[in-house]
Amino acid sequence: MNTFSLPPQVTHDETPLVLESFKKALPTLSVSGAARDGGSKAMQVDARELKIFNSSALALLLAFKRELQGLGLEMQVLNLPEQLQNLAKVYGVEQFLIPA
């Protein structure tokens, strides 16, 4: 399975650069693990390093999810900080980011 790691900080200022980095990584990440070898049709996004964030991080993760869905892939978020999980619940988007 392929993994994209979030940086330590994702706020409004960092969002465009992180999204651009994610989109640039997609061709290599999605093709190697899912499309060609019949492996898993999911991509992992690791939030282990994420320490400073706001609601922009949620918007970014949802943008990642839309990009992946357009490629026929699912997204699995790993190590989502508890505070960001709580923020996702407040905004009503936890079902898109937090596995049941």
pLDDT per position as a tens digit, 20-76: 999 998 887 754 444 445 555 788 999 999 999 999 999 999 999 999 999 888 899
pLDDT of res. 96: 87
Strands 52-53 and 9-10 turn out to be: parallel
Tell me the C-alpha distance between 86 and 68, whole Å.
Answer: 24
Question: What is the predicted pLDDT for the residue at 26?
Answer: 86
What is the CATH T-level fold of the domain 2-97, as seen in this structure?
Transcription Regulator spoIIAA (3.30.750)
Higher pLDDT, 93 or 34: 93
Supply the pLDDT for residue 36: 46
- Sequence-distant (≥ 6) Cβ neighbours of residue 16 within 8 angstroms: none
Residue 44 tokens read as 């992992």
Residue 94: is its pLDDT beyond 50? yes
Domain segments of the chain as ranges? 2-97
Axis crossing angle, helix 15-30 with helix 55-70, rounded to the nearest 10? 30
Quote the pTM value.
0.85
